[in-house]
Structure 1
């Protein structure tokens, strides 16, 4: 499946006092991909965005039709980049992609590390007060890659599945365990032990097992943290 490749700089986020790099635009030429992302890409808040486990954000263009049905004909949904993604494709979604899946894209190897955890900046990006909540609740979240082998990636390169290390753990199953059936001990125990999953998610699962309760996501979704 050929990719659309997108990057973006840090810029003021409309309607806020904050800065963000959520506005990504397609690039015309090759990009060097390293352990922390594409050479011309940026993240404003490195505490929660970017880093080795969130080096590349992939969002399926397949979801855009569903968002247009939900929200109406927003110009933002006319082309890839609305969700801050670096890679856009048609075909793979959370229902088919699993944690630990390894893909070759151009000269690089990347591995699915975790699902995307939406934040309040989506609310301002879309002008929809509960957009982050909608993304989380629908499971149309997208996902992140860690970079196993740096290399050069170009628009139109094929995303090729190379290996599957935990095929039973689709991103859809992970989403359901974390956001729907949230205190299922068997699923949480499996997540806590899933070594191809980003450490932060495994810690979340272990905290739930230890405390018997679900953490409060509202500050992240509403920007009140």
Structure 2
């Protein structure tokens, strides 16, 4: 279990026709890798996440409780195949394209529970909750069904709270310290999917 890439982004206009009320909105969903296996640069992590990383809407992203968004690299093949099929273009997403800060390998949603702790280098993190996708994700990947596909697949990723700050470098190993193990990220996703199906809320 390790970090393959650390990514950061700035708030920029996000264009798309994936919401009836918006043609352009502010978003920092487009993250770029600033530390990876090929170029392992040290990155400063504080209680609000990666130093210099931005979020446009702090009600749904960022802050103490959603400081770091983690996404498993194992899911990238799913997205490349889906988006290539649906957009009729060859798609090969780079790490950070899902909007994540940490792209990791070796852990997925069925193995991660709310309250688990991650020890990465000298830093400590706590698992908070899954990521709930919205229309901005649809616009970012140019496919109006992307948010629905994220929930239906269970490939949501999750948010971390920063318990101990410091610097991290891509390639760092991850040690998982189990919490109470009451609710996994996959179980949260299943519950959210059920609620959205009842309300038909996919915008």
* TM norm. shorter chain > 0.5: yes
Matches within 5 A, 1:44-83: 44-72=56-84, 77-83=92-98
Q: Distance in 1 between matches of 2:72 and 2:186?
A: 13
RMSD: 2.2
Unaligned 5+ runs, structure 2 = 17-22, 36-40
In the other structure, the counterpart of 2:34 is: 27
Bigger relative contact order, structure 1 or 2 (CA pairs below 8 A, ≥6 apart) = 2
Mapped contact 1:34–1:150 kept (Cα < 8 A): yes
SS of the aligned residue for 1:59 comes to strand
Deviation at 1:75, TM superposition (A): 5.9
Structure in which a larger fraction of residues adopt strand: 2
In the other structure, the counterpart of 1:173 is: 187
Q: Does 1:10 align with 2:11?
A: yes
Change (3 A) 1:99 1:216: same
Unaligned 5+ runs, structure 1 = 183-212
Structure in which a larger fraction of residues adopt helix: 1
Deviation at 1:27, TM superposition (A): 0.8
Within the candidate set 89, 114, 127, 2:142 is matched to 127
**1:145-180 deviation digits (Å, cap 9, x = unpaired):** 01111121122221221x211224221122223323
Q: Distance in 2 between matches of 1:172 and 1:46?
A: 24
Deviation at 1:30, TM superposition (A): 1.6
Change (3 A) 1:38 1:75: farther
**TM-score in terms of structure 2 length:** 0.84
What is the aligned residue count? 188
**TM-score in terms of structure 1 length:** 0.76
